[in-house]
Structure 1
C-alpha cells in the first residue's frame, strides 16, 4: 500500500510539474529555461 501511495505522489508531482512547465512556456514563449527536456 505504502509503495503504491508513494508512486501516486510521484505521478501527481510529475503532472503538476508538466502543466506548470506548459504555463511557463506559454507566458515566456521562447526564453531559455533551466531544464529543457522536451
Structure 2
C-alpha cells in the first residue's frame, strides 16, 4: 500500500488577522440585531 501525506503550513499571523476580522463582523451583526430588536 502506498500512503501519501499532505501537509499545509498556516501562517499564524494571517490566521490571527482573519479571526480579528471575523470578530469585528460578528460584533457588527450583533449590534445591528440589537438595534433591529429595539426598533420593533
Aligned-pair distance for 1:28?
1.2
Say whether residues 1:10 and 2:20 are aligned partners.
yes
What is the aligned residue count? 29
Report which structure shows greater RCO (CA 8 Å, sep ≥6): 1
Q: Which runs of 4+ in 1 moved over 2 A?
A: none
d(CA) in 1 for partners of 2:37, 2:12: 38
**1:20 aligned residue:** 30
Note the aligned Cα RMSD (angstroms): 0.7
- TM-score, normalising length: structure 1: 0.70
